[in-house]
Amino acid sequence: MPATFDSRRVYDVWQKLISDEELYELLLADRHRELKASRGLSEEELTILDEFRKEAGLRWNIENLRFRAADHVMSTLKVYLPRTIYLLTQGQEDWLRDIIYEYVALHRWQELGRSCLAECVRFGRYVRERIAKRRVLPDIVEHVLSMELAAVELLREAGQVPAEKWPRERRELDDEALAAARPRRGPAVKVIELPVDFSDWIHSVDPSTGSVKEGSLTLLMLVPSPEETFRIQRMSEGARLVFERFTGERTAAEIARAVEDELGLEPAQVYRLLRRWLSEGALHA
């Protein structure tokens, strides 16, 4: 590439070439000037494209960049949306690669790099707005996608919590202090409800194993602190009703009495649940 070209302009044209499928194909055929008007290409940009075409390995460079972009996206989705990916492809790697190539091409080969969580959210929209319009997907796909995207959203929220908003070191309270405490959720806690039970599948390391059962499923998701990892656990309906009462407005003793009156749950059981949630970081006092 001649040194007479501005380096920023060369870079911008290179980015156009990567993202524009038609421009790339016509450049290889030496017909790129046909797009001058429709793409608003200046004579300088066309001359830069001429120089790109002269360079050995142009096709290899473009295809390699696209392969790496697709590969990075695929690796990201396998980490954060493993069950959704399995349901879409039944574990077939070639099928997955086809989906990812089409997805990244739709976004003009602009993968989101280190913004892994944003990439998952964008892919979730792609599943709902494009794949689900072309294929009849079983209901479980939407339920699993909703669960995995809820976890992704929680991780995003955790990353935005200021350091001073995280609870201080957790400590066990004696009975008197516990009764007087006003517990509330930690800054990165979410409760979600699903219409089917695939809890066995959630806890399986292998996304291809597990089963779906009849009945609903309530999940408690949390990131206890910046130093701890994401956690997920099943929650019974009764536990959910108790958990949702800990908003920081009433003392634990007041909540225990109300739960006993309304749900018939003894205060000792409420305190056991509360101690567990405090120790896990789902609640803090």
Q: Which of 37-51, 114-128, 195-209 has the highest mean pLDDT?
A: 114-128
Band of pLDDT at residue 2, cut at 50, 70 and 90: low
Cα–Cα distance, 47 to 18 (Å, whole number): 17
pLDDT above 90 covers what percent of the chain? 66
Mean pLDDT confidence for 215-235: 94
Cα–Cα distance, 38 to 44 (Å, whole number): 16
Q: Is the pLDDT of residue 224 over 70?
A: yes
Q: Measured in Å, how far apart are the chain's first and last C-alpha atoms?
A: 64
Kindly give, in sequence order, each residue whose CB lies less than 8 Å from that of residue 280, ignoring residues fewer than 6 positions away.
Answer: 222, 224, 231
Q: Is the pLDDT of residue 159 over 70?
A: yes
All domains in the chain, ordered by first residue: 7-55 (no CATH), 61-137 (no CATH), 153-284 (3.90.930.50)
Instruction: Please report, for residues 2, 70, 283, the alpha-carbon distance to residue 23 in angstroms, rounded to integers and kept in the order given.
Output: 21, 20, 55
Name the average pLDDT for the chain: 91
Band of pLDDT at residue 1, cut at 50, 70 and 90: low
What pLDDT, on the 0 to 100 scale, is given for residue 62?
Answer: 87
pLDDT one-digit tens code per residue, 167-190 = 887 888 999 999 999 999 999 999
Band of pLDDT at residue 211, cut at 50, 70 and 90: confident
Q: Is the pLDDT of residue 56 over 60?
A: yes
pLDDT one-digit tens code per residue, 104-153 = 989 988 878 789 999 999 999 999 999 999 999 999 999 999 999 999 99
pTM here? Answer: 0.86
Mean pLDDT confidence for 271-284: 95
Q: Is the pLDDT of residue 21 over 70?
A: yes
What pLDDT, on the 0 to 100 scale, is given for residue 266?
Answer: 94
What pLDDT, on the 0 to 100 scale, is given for residue 7?
Answer: 86
Mean pLDDT confidence for 231-260: 95
Band of pLDDT at residue 228, cut at 50, 70 and 90: very high
